[in-house]
Amino acid sequence: MDDIVKQAMLKWPNVPHCYGWLGLDARGNWYMRDDRAQNAGAFASKAPGAKGSLLQHAKLIDFIQRNYASDELGQWYFQNGPQRVYVELEATPWIWRISPQNTIANHCGQGAQWRKSLVDENGWLYLETDLGFGLVHTQDVTNAADAIEKGAWSVEEAARESFQTQYGYVSSPQTLAQTKKPA
């Protein structure tokens, strides 16, 4: 986490959390979700306009990725100065990039070590690594398949619906926050 972010957290410790305004898609892209996008539907839905606006500013994306973390409930967030901006996940908290040499890096650029490969009922490929659990980027599935075919990695079948519980992450912190609010 950036030092300037840590300093802001100390200076303003009681800033309310933000929900629903930031999303991470299944290809590791970040989306800003204004009121219109949120009203169009859940981030992971296929509803037109629900994803919001693709972030393209390289320095903003780098800032988000340097300050991306999870809390004790498995909700992923971006620490934006004193404010925690919870992230809506289309798939998983990490999107893995696989090189032709089978090196692994997450969408934030951090290297990881393979532990397990899983394939779900839709044929999507996931990795469990020393950094955590995530989906293999669609452009890198052939590199992962090569590792599996060569015997460097094994693969197990698994049910997608079990992943959040098994790997301890929340795909929609906004939905979780709404269910906790008193009526």
State whether 83 and 108 are in the same domain: no
Q: Is the pLDDT at 179 greater than 90, yes or no?
A: no
Q: Is the pLDDT at 182 greater than 70, yes or no?
A: no
Contact partners, residue 65, CB within 8 Å, separation at least 6: 107, 108, 109
> What range defines the domain where residue 7 resides?
3-91+169-180
pTM: 0.90
State whether 125 and 161 are in the same domain: yes
Bigger pLDDT: 7 vs 34? 34
Name beta bridge partners: 134.
Answer: 94, 127
Q: Is the pLDDT at 31 greater than 80, yes or no?
A: yes
Return contacts of 54-60, CB within 8 angstroms, 24+ apart: 54/29, 54/30, 55/29, 55/30, 55/31
State whether 64 and 118 are in the same domain: no
**Residue 135: predicted pLDDT:** 98
- 42-92: pLDDT as tens digits: 999 999 999 999 999 999 999 999 999 999 999 999 998 888 999 999 999
